[in-house]
Amino acid sequence: MKPIIQLQLLILLFFMQACAPEQQTAGKDTIQEYPVTTIEHQEAVINTEYPATLEGQQNIEIRPKIDGFVGQIFVDEGAAVKKGQLLFRINAPQYEQEVRTAAAAIKNAEAEVNTAKMQVEKTLPLVKEGIISDYELKSANFNLHAKEAVLAQARAGLINARTNLGYTAISSPADGVVGSIPYKTGSLVSSTSAQPLTTVSNIARVFAYFSFNEKQFLDFTEGFAGKNMNDKLKHFPAVSLLLANGTEYAEKGHMESIGGLINTETGAVNLRAGFSNPDGTIRSGASATIRIPVKVKNALLIPAKATYEMQEKLMAVVVNKNGMVKVTEIEIMDIPSGEFYVVKKGLNAGDWVVTEGMGGLTDGTRIKPVLSQQLTAAKK
């Protein structure tokens, strides 16, 4: 029996030795592959994006200056109008009556002036002949001046009455587009009404209003030449506008102004960019996203998808040539971008970073890095 047992042991030992390389190979095959990319210094243009509110160059509330009823409406909501075009007519018959009253007052005043002139003409020769004293002539002249003042006042009253009557016809003060019309024909309106009759928006040119926080503002302006902010504005690149449906607006815009104050509550600096709007595609009050190209030199770029947040810190996973990973905190330039971040601290040129699936990796984990193409997507 012993020779048989020894033979069986030898066969078992031989079988275990034969299977050992396959087991080792199988163990190696369990190391998971992860895509990585190399971080290198390069010059690039990064598109930074900020939410913006769009306003026309003029948004004019149309309000009545007099009390009355809406008699006629000559335009419809959304209509394009020209400066001076008639929009509304207010039915206010009291102002027509004031014109007639003022005109009658003028005729009465003119008659009294003529009577006073006749009295002066009658008194003058009598004074020259010494029949009556100078007092009578002076009194007649004073009366004439008083009547002339009444006439002037009556004429001013007619002008005011005609002005008020003119307020019954309301015309557009500028070229633009008519907004909503809350009051319909027959509605009682006045200068103190809660809502305007409508709004005329001049949208031949529109402005995009957005804001930087203080840190973004300082980082952003440091990259442009100029002794003062007006000089720096001249060096700002042309900016783009993404409309609410995600399409890029055809016209390029330019930075025009930067607010002089930092909001103490929000820490924001307000900025404005202007865009021409020849086709009226953009309407006042719309929302959009403004895209600003930022040129960075000698920058370390990391794809946004290769980072994740942990306890309000931005992290990246660095892998060495042996496949060992290390979770690293990084600091980036505070300019929001949808694709890439500019690394200020935490990574060095030549580092490999995992670009996908790094959320479950911890320090010391061994992976099989699969090197992808070097970052060039942001370079222009």
**CATH top-level class of 49-56+204-295:** mainly beta
Choice between 77 and 228, residue whose per-residue pLDDT is larger:
77
| Fold of the CATH domain 64-92+168-195 | OB fold (Dihydrolipoamide Acetyltransferase, E2P) (2.40.50)
pLDDT at 22: 46
Instruction: Please give the average per-residue pLDDT across 288-296, as a whole number.
Output: 85
Choice between 22 and 197, residue whose per-residue pLDDT is larger:
197
**Cα–Cα dist 368/322, whole Å:** 9
Domain segments of the chain: what residues?
A: 33-43+298-371, 49-56+204-295, 64-92+168-195, 93-166
Convert the pLDDT of each residue in 347-356 to its tens digit. 999 899 999 8
3-state secondary structure 280-300: CCCCCCCEEEEEEEEEEEEEE
Please indicate whether the domains covering 64-92+168-195 and 93-166 agree at the CATH topology level.
no
- Close Cβ partners of 319 (under 8 Å, ≥ 6 residues apart): 34, 36, 325, 326, 352, 353, 354, 367, 369
pLDDT at 379: 46
Convert the pLDDT of each residue in 108-144 to its tens digit. 999 999 999 998 888 888 888 878 888 888 888 899 9
Residues facing 58 on adjacent strands: 202
Residue of 304, 289, 374, 361 lying closest to 337 (CA atoms):
304
* CATH code, residues 33-43+298-371: 2.40.420.20
Convert the pLDDT of each residue in 165-177 to its tens digit. 999 999 999 988 9
Query: What are the φ and ψ backbone dihedral angles of 262, each rounded to 5 degrees?
Result: -100, 125
Instruction: Please give the average per-residue pLDDT across 43-47, as a whole number.
Output: 78
Question: Given a cut of 90, is residue 265 above it in pLDDT?
Answer: no
Convert the pLDDT of each residue in 222-245 to its tens digit. 767 677 777 777 778 889 999 999
Instruction: Please give the average per-residue pLDDT across 98-117, as a whole number.
Output: 93
Q: How many CB atoms lie within 10 A of CB 31?
A: 12
pLDDT at 378: 46
pLDDT at 148: 93
Instruction: Please give the average per-residue pLDDT across 38-61, as a whole number.
Output: 86
Choice between 211 and 6, residue whose per-residue pLDDT is larger:
211
CATH level 2 (architecture), domain 93-166? Orthogonal Bundle (1.10)
- Close Cβ partners of 297 (under 8 Å, ≥ 6 residues apart): 43
